[in-house]
Structure 1
Amino acid sequence: MGTLENLAVNAPTQYINVNGTNYAYRRFGKNTGIPIIGFQHFTGTLDNWDPIIANGLAQDREVIIFDNKGVGNSDGKTPDNVLEMTKDAIKFIKALGIEKFDVLGFSLGGFIAQYLGVQYSEMVRKIVMVGTAPQGAKVLEEFYDLIGRGSQLSPSELFLYIFFTKSEKSLSKGKETLQRLFERSKDRDKDTAEKSVMAQAKAITDWGKTSDINISEIKHPVLIIQGSNDEMMDSDTSYEIFKSIPNAVLSYYPDSAHGSFFQYPEMFVSQANQFLNNFE
């Protein structure tokens, strides 16, 4: 399995066929207790998880990351709505034989986390949400405009534009994050195909028009992480989630945007492990 320092970088990509769909995934860390499963951001693949974060969480538990249907190395057609994405994720999780798990939902993955907490509550123990928004968030009406403004940028410039503020400190941390995301040189994931990107984009904008769950029904312990200036999700919406969920903890990171935990990975790992190990 390798040392703690290179678990995320060296974990082999595995595949499991579920009803004709091959899901790509990696699992590493301590194969005991309740695993934490990562649900990725818009266009994100297996290789978009920060190794510092993945390895830090793997100190105390098993970490499972995967490409949902049609994303990265997983085949099939990507749904254009979050509910179907959630159902696909549950099919994958059940196929692995997992009955109980913790959730790490980033951005779009945080939308899925909210469905999991309400509609699959019996399978979930604790939830960590990063840079996400509740249903009905008006800011999501501007999602296409935000992506359009970054469409002429190079991939690295777009990454910095979306996930970090314009301050010198934030951008410097962003460049460090980019280096970490490319530490893995072999067995890398494919970029998400255009059809899947468009389906995800529709799912995100429609989330702002949807109201089919009440997140106050989430009784699990929930840790909410947000940046001070998340233009994509609107930082204030995390406070709305916090007020709605009865057993939630909220932490804002300074001078940070949508990728707050990229900018402060060590602080995030410390908070997340404390929450997962001790908070009730």
Structure 2
Amino acid sequence: MSTQQTARTQYVDAPNGAKFAYRRIGTGSGTPLVLVTHFRGTMDKWDPLLINGLAVSRPVITVDYLGVGLSTGEVSTSVRQSAADIALFLGLIGQAEVDLLGFSLGGYVAQMVALNSDPSKVKIRRLILAGTGTSYGPKLATSPNHDVGSVAGVQYVTIDTFKTLFFPKNHEGDAAAESWWSRIHERSTSTCGEEVSQWLSHGFKDQGKGLLGQVMQGRSFTTQPEIGQSSEGSYDRLHALKIPVLVANGHVGAHS
């Protein structure tokens, strides 16, 4: 069975000339689970403990957004466009029905795929929204942690970045962060024979352009009132989801 550490990267061409990079992991039968990742993340940065565990009993597909990781093209500046890109990708690889899991920024994208995609072309069977939220809504509380953006937007992403963002500030949290950081680096040239991608805009080698694009996605999706009432947003349209949806959020964290 291919694993997060060993799976080979495949590519598919988009009509605009960009290439989607993706991987198929796990068993070959059953409805695939497609994973859509977080702010600045790439498919190389998924935790093998999660991916390989899921892939024991079903096929798993990971993909890089356009302009991110090993995919080419431009980073989108709207969640709606990122969702359209993912729906396009699924059609290009011939997946007519999938389950979809979105984490953080990927949760914004995943819900928009489910809301906006044409079910006659790509059917989202089940939806998992992890560590995420909806688009702007008048009754939604805003985060009191105003330093999150400055931490997530650093030039060089380190383990300390994620200790702040993802883990409790105690001994157990530090230990969990160290283990996680070690695992996400298990994929290497020696295990897969391929280039391993860096975090989006790591070292600002792109002058931070990709990072800015994803900042614009998240900011407009969560702060602009008009977003929630259109195909650009989800707040006023979640009732339209007629599929099973699992929401998996923590109670306390840097984003809450």
Asked if TM exceeds 0.5, the reply is yes
Tell me if structure 1 keeps the 8 A contact 2:145–2:254.
no
Match runs of 1:7-86 below 5 Å: 7-19=3-15, 20-86=17-83
Shift of 1:149: 4.5
Unaligned runs of 5+ in 1: 235-280
Q: TM-score, normalised by structure 2?
A: 0.83
Tell me if structure 2 keeps the 8 A contact 1:73–1:190.
no
Residues 1:178 and 2:181 aligned together: yes
Aligned mates of 1:35, 1:91 — CA distance in 2: 16
Secondary structure, aligned partner of 1:53: helix
Match runs of 1:263-274 below 5 Å: none
Aligned mates of 1:153, 1:14 — CA distance in 2: 28
Counterpart amino acid of 2:238? I
Shift of 1:120: 2.5
Residues 1:127 and 2:127 aligned together: yes
Aligned mates of 2:74, 2:220 — CA distance in 1: 18
Aligned mates of 1:225, 1:154 — CA distance in 2: 25
User: Which residue is equivalent to 2:197?
Assistant: 189
Counterpart amino acid of 2:130? V
Tell me if structure 2 keeps the 8 A contact 1:46–1:65.
yes
Secondary structure, aligned partner of 2:249: strand
Counterpart amino acid of 1:217? A
User: Which residue is equivalent to 2:220?
Assistant: 206
**Higher share of residues assigned helix:** 1
The Cα RMSD (Å) is 2.0
Residues 1:146 and 2:148 aligned together: yes
Q: 8-17 or 118-127: which moved more?
A: 118-127
Tell me if structure 2 keeps the 8 A contact 1:29–1:62.
yes
Tell me if structure 2 keeps the 8 A contact 1:130–1:226.
yes
Q: Quick one: structure 1 residues 121 and 177, their matched pair in 2 at CA, closer, same or farther if it must change by over 3 Å? A: farther
Secondary structure, aligned partner of 2:209: helix
Aligned mates of 2:91, 2:156 — CA distance in 1: 39
User: Which residue is equivalent to 1:160?
Assistant: 163
Instruction: Please list the CA deviations of residues 175-227 of structure 1 after superposition, one character each: whole Å capped at 9, or x if unmatched.
Output: 11001000111121233232111100111011112212311211211111112
Task: Detail structure 1 runs of 4+ shifted over 4 Å in the superposition.
Answer: 140-143
Counterpart amino acid of 1:118? L
Tell me if structure 2 keeps the 8 A contact 1:105–1:113.
yes
Counterpart amino acid of 1:18? A
Tell me if structure 1 keeps the 8 A contact 2:86–2:113.
no
Q: 99-108 or 112-121: which moved more?
A: 112-121
Q: TM-score, normalised by structure 1?
A: 0.76
Residues 1:229 and 2:252 aligned together: yes
Q: Quick one: structure 1 residues 153 and 43, their matched pair in 2 at CA, closer, same or farther if it must change by over 3 Å? A: closer
Paired residue total: 228
Tell me if structure 1 keeps the 8 A contact 2:110–2:127.
yes
Secondary structure, aligned partner of 2:242: coil
Match runs of 1:84-99 below 5 Å: 84-99=81-96
Q: Percentage identity across aligned positions?
A: 30
Counterpart amino acid of 2:7? A
Secondary structure, aligned partner of 1:227: coil
User: Which residue is equivalent to 2:239?
Assistant: 216
Aligned mates of 1:141, 1:118 — CA distance in 2: 29
